[in-house]
Chain A
Amino acid sequence: MNKRILIVDDSFYMRTMLKNMLTDAGYEVVGEAANGAQALEMATSTAPDLITLDVILPDNTGLDVLKSLRQIQPSAKVVMCSAVGQEVIVNEAIENGALAYIVKPFSEEKVLEIVGAALQNDATEQTA
């Protein structure tokens, strides 16, 4: 079965680009959230395998959303999306359970590599 991914980013442009990259690679994008509240709601209703999460969101910081996500959907893998210069937040995110991060601007190869690896991580954890 195709892995199901939820995209959280407040930029429509970024979401579209990510979505195209992921669907082209055969993933199923089950939702696109533009803010923290939508992200939590959609994570609950779609139960995705993986969530890409922008670190800067309008109604909440990405970190707060990450913490809530880890609680309501602990099985979903979270990959942070950040730009250069946000290493501090990214590190905190990793400490809070994010598996990896992608640095904007995205290259398709990088996105697929990181998403693939994060999902792989899922498999190894389950078999271990």
Chain B
Amino acid sequence: MKTRDQEYRELFMAEALEYYDSMSRHLSELENNPNAGPALNELFRLMHNLKANARAMGFTDLGEVAHHLETLFGLIRDKERTFSGVLIRVVFAGVDALGNMIRAVGANQPMPEVSGLLDNLDRLVRGEAPLLEEIEAPETEEESNRKMELSDLVYIQVKKLDNLLNLVGELVIDRDRIMTLAQEIDNPALLATAQHLFRISDDLQYSVMDARLVGVGVLLNKFPRVVRDVASAEDKQVELTMSGQDVQIDRNILQIITDALLHLVRNAVSHGLETTEQRLQAGKPAVGQLTLSALTERDDVLIQVRDDGRGINTEAVRRKAIERGLTTAKAAAALPEQAIWSFLFEPGFSMADKVTDISGRGVGLDVVKLALDSLGGQLRVESQLGKGTTFTLVLPTSIAVKGALLVEVDERPYAVPLLHTDTVLALHPGQISVVGGVLVTHFHEEAVPLVPLRQLLYEEGDEPLPFATKTDMNGPQHVLVVNYNNRRLGLLVDRFMRQQNIVIKPLSKPLDTIDLFGGVTLLGSGQVCLVLDVPALTRLFLNKRP
């Protein structure tokens, strides 16, 4: 398991080695030109950083040597000492010692003895002559045996990894096109090459995804503090147990679910778990149990938030849903538990009877649902009244290639992720009726509203859509039925293009505020294609239907 201390240690080592290399470089520069101001400034800064980092890690001796050298370089910079004569030898010995100490940290070995060196540095700072035998002693054999060392650890901006993943995604799309072409042309040599390309790009894609994986612990380790804070604010006793910190997941996925997980955990402590008094009355142990665990299931990563609290009061949710007009009393009576619980994730739906400081922030569990939607993940709820609740986030391991259906409107392609598509239909105007200003068709004995995609995309303003008519409908109508949260909606499009694997690139600023699009993808031709966000489209339709 990679703890935070270990992470700090690795960062410290990587940076210390880098500093050490730069110091050596700047020292040589200074040897050639003792007045090189920039080199002096750099040495001063590097010593300063090394000192501060070493002290934070608790490597006192290392910090001391760096501190003395920093002071000395400060004096040289201020022209109170000159970089010449015996001072040069002491400084070189000092930097060598730093190198040895850093390597000792890396190898988990005891630190070399540096009291003689520190004494000499002190003398130089005070303006006294150093004791020369101290300088000569540690050299000789070690010097010639010293190896060049580079850190095994590279730190890299996530942006660069994102870029790499996107490029690989595009490569995979082109590879698929080449495969198709090769099969059509049916030239054995071309086919063999294409198959080879296929394998290599598969490996490449796998490697890039692998490079982006981090342990779930990176996120989970932030929770003990959150739980402690919320529990103390709510005056509850909570014991947090965590497991599966090693489970690997794409760093960006972890980033996206951070808020969702935070919300679920706060919610579990402030609403899920009872007060000590209530627990004792119910015959439960005084301390509430909260478990945060990660595990892998086939290609997915599951993150679970489990509490042994009061459980979801299904009847209360049912009443609230009716009150809020989300369903009718008649329909609600027939809905199974799971369907009732899914109302908890409707925007603005909150079961909090009192607004607490911690979780009553007007944000409901819908943030959780939104985060999962954006990843193509799922949310599972299990609950038993009086026993507790478990929320399970089902997440993809990687942000990978997704299947999509390409449709055309006004000669422009749009991609709809297959995750949200139900079926495609070609309907004659006779199969479509108008009910309350909305086009409706019957599909599997269910009334499905239809709307021209053009209207949803291009009708400006917040006013309701105009009443629909069938007057300008000629010939078969192309309908893509999409599905979100068991709500079906038929989108009228000009034509269906094809099904294709796409890599979704997020929309960059400043356009990322338009929630109707989950991103863009590049088609094989280099053409830009917007990816529709079905949840947002569905919400837009519900808000604007006449």
Contacts and interface: CB of A to CB of B under 8 A. Distances in A.
A26 B4 CA distance: 18
Interface stretch (B47-55, B294-302, B380-388, B430-438): B47-55
A83 B12 CA distance: 17
A17 B8 contact: yes
Interface in B3-20: 4, 7-8, 11-12, 14-15
A25 B44 CA distance: 33
A11 B225 contact: no
Interface residues of B, number: 23
A80 B67 CA distance: 19
Given A20-B4, A24-B225, A105-B55, A13 B48 contact: no
Contacts of A49: none
Contacts of B49: 10-11, 14, 56
A57 B53 CA distance: 15
Q: How large is the interface on A (under 10, 10 to 19, 20 to 34, 35 or more residues)?
A: 20 to 34
Which of A10, A11, A12, A85 lies at the interface centre, i.e. has the most chain B CB atoms within 10 A of its CB? A11
Contacts of B45: 10, 56-58
Nearest to A16: B11
Given A11-B49, A12-B14, 9 more contacts: A12-B11, A13-B8, A17-B8, A20-B4, A24-B225, A85-B67, A85-B71, A104-B52, A104-B56
B458 interface: no
Which of B8, B49, B52, B155 lies at the interface centre, i.e. has the most chain A CB atoms within 10 A of its CB? B52
Contacts of B51: 83
B75 to A, nearest CB: 12
Contact of B42 (A11, A20, A58): A58
A23 interface: yes
Interface in A97-113: 104-106
Contacts of B225: 24-25
B58 to A, nearest CB: 9
B12 A13 contact: yes
B123 interface: no
B4 A105 contact: no
Contact of A106 (B4, B44, B56): B56
Contact of B52 (A14, A23, A25, A58): A14
A105 B52 contact: yes
B428 interface: no
A20 B221 CA distance: 11
Contact of A14 (B7, B42, B53, B155): B53
B222 interface: yes
Interface of B: 4, 7-8, 11-12, 14-15, 42, 44-45, 48-49, 51-53, 55-56, 67, 71, 155, 222, 225, 229
B48 A12 contact: no
A102 to B, nearest CB: 11
A11 B14 CA distance: 11
Given A23-B222, A58-B45, A85-B71, A13 B55 contact: no
A20 B218 CA distance: 11
Given A24-B225, A83-B48, A83-B51, A14 B4 contact: no
B152 to A, nearest CB: 16
B296 to A, nearest CB: 26
Interface string A1-44: 00000000011111011001001111000000000000000000
Given A14-B49, A24-B222, A105 B56 contact: yes
A14 to B, nearest CB: 6
A83 B222 contact: no
A34 B153 CA distance: 19
Nearest to B54: A105
14 contacts: A10-B45, A11-B15, A13-B11, A13-B15, A13-B56, A14-B56, A17-B56, A20-B4, A23-B222, A25-B225, A26-B229, A83-B51, A105-B55, A106-B56
Which of A11, A13, A14, A23 lies at the interface centre, i.e. has the most chain B CB atoms within 10 A of its CB? A13
B391 to A, nearest CB: 22
B55 A104 contact: yes
Nearest to B229: A26
A12 B56 contact: no
B522 to A, nearest CB: 27
A101 to B, nearest CB: 13
Nearest 4 interchain pairs by C-beta: A105-B56, A104-B52, A105-B55, A11-B49
Contacts of A16: 7-8, 11
